[in-house]
Amino acid sequence: MSIRTDFPHAIAETEDMGIPMPDGTRLSARVWMPADALAQPVPAVLEYIPYRKRDGTLPRDEMMHPYVAGHGYACVRVDMRGNGDSQGLMEDEYTQAEMDDAVAVIAWLAAQPWCTGAVGMMGKSWGGFNCLQAAFNQPPALKAVISVCATTDRFADDIHFKGGCLLGENFGWGAVMLSFSSRPADPLLVEDWRGDWIRRLEADPWLAPRWAQHQARDAYWAHGSVCEDWARMTVPVMIWGGWADNYMNTVGALLTHAPGPVQGVIGPWGHNYAHSALPGPQIGFLQMAIRWWDRWLKGIENGAEADPALRAYILRSEPPDASAAAREGHWVAERVWPSDRVRPMALHLASPGGLSAPRTPRGYLQTDESGAAFSVEIATPQHLGLQAGEFFPMGLAAEMPGDQAEDDALSVCFDMAPLAEDLQLLGQAELRLTLSSDQPLGFVVARLCDVGPDGASTRICHGMLNLCHRDGMDRPAPMVPGQGVDLAFPLDLAGYRIAAGHHLRLALSNSYWPFVWPSPRAGRLVLTGGRLTLPVHQGADVAEWQPPPAEHARPWAHRVLRAGQTQRRIERDLLTGRRALVIEDDLGDHENMTHGLITGETLSERWEIDPDDPLSARALQRWEQRLSRGGWSVRTLAEAEMTGSETHLRLAARLRAWDGETLVFERHWDEEVARSFV
């Protein structure tokens, strides 16, 4: 990755540009634009998120936005209302007010004398959602978007629920936002920073219970889900995903359903922009973004609209590594999606009738249906899943899936024979099962794994289904105990080449801690049939596309006052058998050498469970935020806990804030949510 300092345009920066909303609220923007933009207006590119431009995303902002501005754009980084240096209060994610503000910001930018009237929008994660939602709302000045690591369906495929299963990350993200939104504006930019801070603290919402209570795809989740009306998605979209992230399905969904111009790129990356993401290789995201903007915001006939519909990095068989710095693979380029080079391969689940160990029945995958009927019980221990990794890995702190062999040993596994030649996959596998449950509530998780000759198991992809949602995410109904059902669900989009001599494994479980919050009872599923359909790609093991090299602008000027450190470990109590995933992440303290703000952040998480008792599940999070400059200092501490009973989920939290050494705010929440379908 190289640093670029020479650009076609000299850049002028405004650190705090006020953008008025229709209700009088002032949003704060940091803006980079060509120095002569008033004489020679340029298109604007908006990034609109709650993550604080003054400190939170500043390191990545300074690598990206000056780079794009130097190529003839006004790059506008806006703090959403109630966050960073913007006025107003935070209520929830993706509210109507938030979307209305985005539309108002786009209209304001288009009307500025330094703007040509054409506006683009870019963003990752929350910002990526904003891009798609703004495109859905169709403001006239919005000409194109670049969305990274986002979703089109807020219920079926997001951090709250996946396949209708309640994710542990729903609680985790609630704790994150409680902490993130507790910080004040910078006193250098906001005169009444303290009064604004107290109002912000008093309104800071504990969102995890609110999200958890919506256990079906109701109007709450339909709002902000662009899949509600694909016909509205006519604005050109470049959509990016990563195989190590959990938003890869969005790329395929937009390519398949959106009527407007769509191009997708999926690499080996986690939850980050492709010029800096891990695992590598990184590529030239910024050069590709400028090519996209040149075509749709400046109208330059550069042929960008004729680029491949999908460029995907096909991972190759490697030993599992939860902290992989890079992955081996090659790029393929698909002219259309769904690809005309993908053929379905149906594999039927069969059983030899034997057990390799207690709780671990083994079967096999076959290409015909000649096997005898079978009946296999799925009743996996509650701690299965400790090697699942994070929903959205950010770096090299063992956040990606580790060796699946330990979880495989606790699962019901169906193995394919060792491959005589490589097998290349690109797309979403589909799993059909015939099963019954002895409980009204439950779920099933499927992991597709690449098993090497040494027994090491690398997760290719996973998928899951809350059995209450077998007839649709918006039509949940408890299972009738003992009654067999036929159901189907997709696994995540995958691009993977399995080496000859390795074999494919399908591992099934009805527990997946802490990725999925456990059902109230340790149920037993009886599986009597199934079929796995694989998306087999006909491409060869050769690169079909050469991406530009990763580049960025000069990194932020800062001084490390105290280095951070991270620990991630799995604990086992030898007396009780209780298991725990423990994460301690101290990000240290850093001083911004431009404006002097000192920031620090410390996180700890604990996810613990008894292998035989789903009601023993307990999650704890603790987030501390620190801000200071000279004699001024503030600190906030957010602590949260989640447990469950047979009938309810309990989500408690406490938020405290200090001005210097004085406690200025404290609030407690202790809420219960009825378990309707989880």
What pLDDT is stored for residue 370 in this prediction?
57
The first and second tokens of residue 424, run together, are 């290349």
Residue 38 and residue 149 in one domain: yes
**What's the whole-number mean pLDDT along residues 386-400?**
92
Do the strands 42-49 and 115-124 form a parallel or antiparallel pair, or are they unpaired?
parallel
Q: Cis omega before residue 547 (within 30°)?
A: no
128 φ, ψ to 5°?
-70, -40
Q: Are 597 and 627 in contact (CB under 8 A)?
A: yes
Q: Are 314 and 33 in contact (CB under 8 A)?
A: no
What pLDDT is stored for residue 465 in this prediction?
98
The first and second tokens of residue 472, run together, are 């649709």
CA distance linking residue 177 with residue 53, whole number of Å: 16
CA distance linking residue 45 with residue 109, whole number of Å: 9
Q: What are 350-369's pLDDT values in tens digits?
A: 986 332 333 445 677 877 66
DSSP string, 525-551: EEEEEEEEEEEEE---SS----PPPPE
Residue 326 and residue 376 in one domain: no
Other CB atoms closer than 10 Å to residue 652's CB: what's the count? 17
- CA-based angle 284:290:295, to the nearest 5? 135
Residue 664 and residue 599 in one domain: yes
Residue 598 and residue 574 in one domain: yes
105 φ, ψ to 5°?
-60, -45
Q: What are 297-356's pLDDT values in tens digits?
A: 999 999 999 999 999 999 999 999 999 999 999 999 999 999 999 999 999 999 863 323
The 3-class secondary structure across 548-605, one letter per residue, is CCCEECCCCCEEEEECCEEEEEEEECCCCCCEEEEEEEEEEEEEECCCCCEEEEEEEE
> 617 lies in a domain?
yes
Q: Are 88 and 78 in contact (CB under 8 A)?
A: no
Give residues with Cβ within 8 angstroms of 16, minimum separation 6: 28, 29, 30, 85, 189
Q: What are 239-281's pLDDT values in tens digits?
A: 999 999 999 999 999 999 999 999 999 999 999 999 999 999 9
The first and second tokens of residue 232, run together, are 């509205």
Alpha carbon distances (Å) from 542 to 265, 309, 315, 318, 424: 17, 18, 12, 17, 12
> 218 lies in a domain?
no
Residue 483 and residue 574 in one domain: no
Q: Which of 271, 299, 334 is the last residue of a domain?
A: 334
The 3-class secondary structure across 604-623, one letter per residue, is EEEEEEECCEEEEEEEEEEE
Residue 600 and residue 475 in one domain: no
Residue 446 and residue 582 in one domain: no
> 482 lies in a domain?
yes
Residue 529 and residue 428 in one domain: yes
> 63 lies in a domain?
yes
Q: Are 357 and 451 in contact (CB under 8 A)?
A: no
Q: What are 166-205's pLDDT values in tens digits?
A: 999 999 999 999 999 999 999 999 999 999 999 999 999 9
What pLDDT is stored for residue 356 in this prediction?
32
CATH at 361:
2.60.120.260
Residue 494 and residue 616 in one domain: no
648 φ, ψ to 5°?
-140, 155
Q: Are 519 and 443 in contact (CB under 8 A)?
A: yes
CA distance linking residue 160 with residue 170, whole number of Å: 4
What pLDDT is stored for residue 357 in this prediction?
32
Residue 329 and residue 355 in one domain: no
What pLDDT is stored for residue 396 in this prediction?
85
What pLDDT is stored for residue 371 in this prediction?
56
CATH at 289:
3.40.50.1820
Residue 301 and residue 357 in one domain: no
- Report the domain count for the chain: 3
The first and second tokens of residue 89, run together, are 């209060």
Other CB atoms closer than 10 Å to residue 455's CB: what's the count? 10
CA distance linking residue 627 with residue 463, whole number of Å: 40
588: containing domain: 558-674
Question: Which residues on adjacent β-strands are paired with residue 329?
Answer: 315
Residue 421: pLDDT over 50: yes
